[in-house]
Structure 1
Amino acid sequence: MIAQLMLGFIMDKEMSSKTVFVAGHNGMVGSAIGRKLKQSDDIKVITKSRAELNLLDQQAVREFFEEYQIDQVYLAAAKVGGIVANNTYPAEFIYENLTIQNNIIHSAHLSGVNDLLFLGSSCIYPKFAEQPMTETALLTGILEPTNEPYAIAKIAGIKLCESYNRQYGRNYRSVMPTNLYGENDNFHPENSHVIPALIRRFHEAKLAGDDKVVAWGTGKPMREFLHVDDMAAASIHVMNLDSETYSANTQEMLSHINVGTGVDCTIRELVETVAKVVGFEGAIEFDVTKPDGTPRKLMDVSRLKSLGWEYSVSLEAGLKDTYEWFLANQDNFRK
């Protein structure tokens, strides 16, 4: 009798669990979402390596969704990089990102997945958008040229989700994160974003005993940064909002939500904070011949706050956490 009761309990638990596919689970955001989801006993997380599932292969993605009965999808897979990478590989950035999101969103729809969260980027907004940037700024001006191909792909992803919601009644939501950093970031010396690039540069300068470090640009642009663990928490929060609450706070045909801190700093302030965290005591110089990019990028996160979520990791605390992770994994960044 006891054995039957236990079996019934196990079966009920399995029946109530959600099967969640995290696309891009090896990336910074995808891995953070996966870590967060695995803290819940009622969630079964499915991941596939690139060798197991090529997200650029339409047929392979379609067959994957046919094989698994998936309840939710977090679409965190993307080709990403900093200014240098975006300038050097524009074709790959627009083609691969369009292809990945098209394959996943369409296959999810065909297999009956009703809940999907698409992760975009703050670069979708115009270069000279009014600050802080609201969701309504989308498609109101020209984009920053250095990452236009990537931004266009992300805008297409938002519109793809909106279109499936409009035509088929799907619950495909989009979140637009500000600049992210943290565990599993890309620390490549040329193709990384600003925070991992600075952490590596200052760390190597400290080890080499250099008396100065040169940073790109004037140091004047303003940027906002969000720790990836906060991004994961916000993503899961938005995904699991009930439709009534979500709809009441989201305008019709405007299904994307900004995710950030609502607080920014100058690049100079960021550089100085990274130097402090790393322990570099030399001089800091700015190479004004290098591009600054957009003058300011600050997200208006009032909509997300109205939905019950705010960030919790301060910039300095997040940088310390990221540097500790870098030190523990630096052998992987030698190439």
Structure 2
Amino acid sequence: MQKIYVAGHRGMVGGAITRHLEARQLNGADIELITRTHDQLDLTDQAAVRAFMQEVRPEIVILAAAKVGGIYANNTYPAEFIYDNLMIEANVIHEAYRAGVGRLLQLGSSCIYPRDAAQPMAEDTLLTGPLEPTNEPYAVAKIAGIKLCESYNRQYGVDCRSVMPTNLYGPGDNFHPENSHVLPALMGRFHEAKEQSLDHVTIWGSGTPRREFLHVDDMAAASLFVLDLEPDVYAANTRSMLSHINVGCGEDISILELAELIADVVGFRGEIRLDRSKPDGTPRKLMDVTRLSAMGWTAQIPLRAGVEETYAWFLRHYDRLRA
């Protein structure tokens, strides 16, 4: 039986990966799925992580735990974003190595790339220019996670892999009006506006920045696809296992176009106004997914279908989310 520990199984991405692994169990895969809540295991506590790894001895670790948020949250809590993420990555990767974990997959973020990186952003553009200031602390922490994996691979000959997703959305997302990412934040605001019969909704910025969005179930499928690759295949596509792999759909949309799509799905018929005094963030973020496509994986869920599914989930859980 293969023991797989999913760190962050209650988060949106970790939850999707857990669901996919549970489906494998139902289809006969010999998997022991290991999870811990934050109350059971604080991943920023090195001693606690060490004791857990030494006791449980997982064969595979999927590191999906992270402190995440949108522009407002990143600007408001920069210390927490850099500290928590650095500690989680350092503790889990180092203690997994000490416990003899056979393979580790770390999930990062597209914000690791320079603010003005050529589009679409290829893996090789990492560390070639300044980062977007509004989320620099978080980006630095996620870059450190990549370099941790690279360094442990180089020095110890272990198998740590990194996947860098584009903007993710889907069931289990954070719909907090201030601390969430743009897609769920807009969905919540348009829903509230419809319920209150408001005549307009104001969104941050100029509406011109372009973003790529990937459904979380596509991300889970891609993560397990990369995790399952034979070491020689992974190495051949990532400079001898010293780099990372982008995960995205290869298409982007402007924030205003996204707002119009979500408003249509939600059924809000009022005006969409722009608050140009608020920051836009990076002008464009589109991932170059050539590496992953060449290995045989592509996204399957179209944006509108994914937004419709996410809104249906939002409505089913609305009372809990509002509370």
TM-score range, shorter chain: over 0.9
In the alignment, the residues of structure 2 paired with residue 254 and residue 72 of structure 1 have an alpha-carbon distance, to the nearest angstrom, of 19
> Residue 74 of structure 1 is aligned with which of 40, 62, 78?
62
Shift of 1:254: 3.7
In the alignment, the residues of structure 2 paired with residue 236 and residue 18 of structure 1 have an alpha-carbon distance, to the nearest angstrom, of 14
Paired residues for 1:207-222 under 5 Å: 207-222=195-210
Match of 1:64 in 2: 52
Shift of 1:69: 2.5
Q: What per-residue deviation string (whole Å, max 9, x for no partner) do you get for residues 159-187 of structure 1? A: 00001100111110000000000011101
Tell me the amino acid that sits aligned with residue 65 of structure 2. Answer: A
> Residue 27 of structure 1 is aligned with which of 11, 14, 23?
11
Match of 2:246 in 1: 258
In the alignment, the residues of structure 1 paired with residue 55 and residue 243 of structure 2 have an alpha-carbon distance, to the nearest angstrom, of 29
In the alignment, the residues of structure 2 paired with residue 276 and residue 134 of structure 1 have an alpha-carbon distance, to the nearest angstrom, of 33
Q: Is the 8 A contact 1:38 1:44 kept in 2?
A: no
Paired residues for 1:125-144 under 5 Å: 125-144=113-132
In the alignment, the residues of structure 2 paired with residue 317 and residue 178 of structure 1 have an alpha-carbon distance, to the nearest angstrom, of 18
In the alignment, the residues of structure 1 paired with residue 125 and residue 263 of structure 2 have an alpha-carbon distance, to the nearest angstrom, of 34
Paired residues for 1:1-335 under 5 Å: 17-41=1-25, 42-252=30-240, 254-335=242-323
Q: Is the 8 A contact 2:61 2:104 kept in 1?
A: yes
In the alignment, the residues of structure 2 paired with residue 253 and residue 104 of structure 1 have an alpha-carbon distance, to the nearest angstrom, of 19
In the alignment, the residues of structure 2 paired with residue 70 and residue 307 of structure 1 have an alpha-carbon distance, to the nearest angstrom, of 27
**Larger of the two Rg values belongs to structure:** 1
Tell me the amino acid that sits aligned with residue 13 of structure 2. Answer: V
The TM-score with structure 1 as length reference comes to: 0.94
In the alignment, the residues of structure 2 paired with residue 166 and residue 292 of structure 1 have an alpha-carbon distance, to the nearest angstrom, of 38
Q: What per-residue deviation string (whole Å, max 9, x for no partner) do you get for residues 180-238 of structure 1? A: 00011101111000011000000000000011111111111111000000000000000
Shift of 1:289: 1.0
- Compute the RMSD of aligned alpha carbons: 0.8
* Unpaired runs of at least 5, structure 2: none
SS at match of 2:111: helix
In the alignment, the residues of structure 1 paired with residue 39 and residue 98 of structure 2 have an alpha-carbon distance, to the nearest angstrom, of 24
Q: Is the 8 A contact 1:221 1:267 kept in 2?
A: yes
Tell me the amino acid that sits aligned with residue 285 of structure 2. Answer: K
Q: Is the 8 A contact 1:223 1:298 kept in 2?
A: yes
In the alignment, the residues of structure 1 paired with residue 172 and residue 199 of structure 2 have an alpha-carbon distance, to the nearest angstrom, of 29
Q: Identity rate of aligned residues, in percent?
A: 63
Q: Is the 8 A contact 2:54 2:99 kept in 1?
A: yes
Tell me the amino acid that sits aligned with residue 20 of structure 1. Answer: I
In the alignment, the residues of structure 2 paired with residue 327 and residue 110 of structure 1 have an alpha-carbon distance, to the nearest angstrom, of 44
SS at match of 1:38: helix
Q: What per-residue deviation string (whole Å, max 9, x for no partner) do you get for residues 259-297 of structure 1? A: 000100111110000001101111111111111111000
Q: Is the 8 A contact 2:44 2:87 kept in 1?
A: yes
In the alignment, the residues of structure 2 paired with residue 256 and residue 270 of structure 1 have an alpha-carbon distance, to the nearest angstrom, of 28
The TM-score with structure 2 as length reference comes to: 0.97
Q: Is the 8 A contact 1:85 1:190 kept in 2?
A: yes
Q: Is the 8 A contact 2:170 2:309 kept in 1?
A: yes
In the alignment, the residues of structure 2 paired with residue 71 and residue 54 of structure 1 have an alpha-carbon distance, to the nearest angstrom, of 20
User: Mean Cα displacement is larger for which, 245-254 or 83-92?
Assistant: 245-254
Shift of 1:56: 1.1
Tell me the amino acid that sits aligned with residue 228 of structure 1. Answer: V
In the alignment, the residues of structure 1 paired with residue 283 and residue 83 of structure 2 have an alpha-carbon distance, to the nearest angstrom, of 27
**Number of residue-to-residue matches in the alignment:** 319
Shift of 1:253: 5.8
* Unpaired runs of at least 5, structure 1: 1-16
